Structure 1
Amino acid sequence: MLPTSTDVLVVGAGPTGLAAALTLARRGVGVTVVDRLDRPPVTSRAAVVHAYTLEVLDRIGVGAPLVARGLRSPGFTVRDRDRVLLTLPFGTLPSRHAYALMVSQSVTESVLTAELAAHGVRVLRAHELTGLCRDGAGVLADFAGTTVRARYLVGADGMHSTVRERAGIGFTGPAGGEESFVLADVRVTSTLPRDEVSLFLARSGPLVWAPLPDGVVRLVAAVADAPPEPDAAHLQALLDERGPTRRPDRVREVLWASRFRLRHRIADTFRAGPVLLAGDAGHVHSPAGGQGMNLGVCDAVDLGETLADVLAGGPDTLLDGYAARRRPLAEEVAGFADRLTRLATLPPSRRPARDLLLRLLSAAPPARHRFAMRLSGLSHRERTPR
Structure 2
Amino acid sequence: MTDTTARNAHTTDVLVVGAGPTGLTLTAALLSHGVRVVLVDKQAEGANTSRAAGINARTLEALEGIDVTRRLLKEGIEAPRFTIRDGAKTLLTVDFSGLATDYPFTLLAPQSTTERLLLDRVCELGGDVLRAETLASLTQDAAGVTATFAEGETVRARYVVGADGMHSTVREQAGIGFRGGSYEHSFVLADVRLTGDAPTDEVRLFWAAEGLTVVAPLPDGSFRIVAPVDDAPERPSRDVIQALLDARGPGGLTVTDVTWGSRFRIHHRVADAYRAGRILLAGDAAHVHSPAGGQGMNLGIQDAIVLADALTTAVNGDLELLDRYDTTRRPIAHEVVELTDRLTRLATLPRPLRPLRNVVLGIVGRIPAAQRALASRLSGLVYR
**Superposition TM-score, scaled by structure 1 size:** 0.94
Is the counterpart of residue 319 in structure 1 residue 301 in structure 2? Answer: no
- Listed as ranges, the gaps of 5+ residues in structure 2 are none
Match of 2:92 in 1: 86
Match of 1:298 in 2: 302
Q: CA deviation at 1:204?
A: 4.5
- Listed as ranges, the gaps of 5+ residues in structure 1 are 382-386
Mean Cα displacement is larger for which, 337-346 or 352-361?
352-361
CA distance in 2, matches of 1:304, 1:224: 41
Which of the numbers 105, 108, 117 marks the counterpart of 1:102? 108
Match of 1:341 in 2: 344
Match of 1:222 in 2: 228
Is the counterpart of residue 166 in structure 1 residue 173 in structure 2? Answer: yes
Match of 1:259 in 2: 263
Q: CA deviation at 1:333?
A: 0.5
Q: Which amino acid aligns with 2:354?
A: R
Q: 1:178 to 1:155 in 2, by over 3 A?
A: farther
Match of 1:155 in 2: 162
CA distance in 2, matches of 1:65, 1:112: 9
Is the counterpart of residue 242 in structure 1 residue 248 in structure 2? Answer: yes
> Residue 37 of structure 1: SS of its match in structure 2?
coil
Match of 1:384 in 2: none
Residues 203, 345 of structure 1: 8 Å contact kept: no
Is the counterpart of residue 7 in structure 1 residue 10 in structure 2? Answer: no
Residues 208, 354 of structure 2: 8 Å contact kept: no
Residues 43, 106 of structure 1: 8 Å contact kept: yes
CA distance in 2, matches of 1:45, 1:183: 8
> What is the Cα-based RMSD across aligned positions, in Å?
1.5
Is the counterpart of residue 369 in structure 1 residue 372 in structure 2? Answer: yes
> Residue 264 of structure 1: SS of its match in structure 2?
strand
CA distance in 2, matches of 1:173, 1:138: 30
Match of 1:24 in 2: 30
Match of 2:238 in 1: 232
- 1:310-331 C-alpha deviation (Å, 9 max, x unpaired): 112212x432311111111111
Is the counterpart of residue 56 in structure 1 residue 59 in structure 2? Answer: no
Q: CA deviation at 1:97?
A: 0.3
Match of 2:280 in 1: 276
Residues 185, 231 of structure 2: 8 Å contact kept: no
CA distance in 2, matches of 1:359, 1:153: 48
CA distance in 2, matches of 1:336, 1:298: 17
CA distance in 2, matches of 1:281, 1:331: 14
Mean Cα displacement is larger for which, 357-366 or 369-378?
357-366
Is the counterpart of residue 380 in structure 1 residue 383 in structure 2? Answer: yes
Residues 178, 263 of structure 1: 8 Å contact kept: no
Match of 1:115 in 2: 121
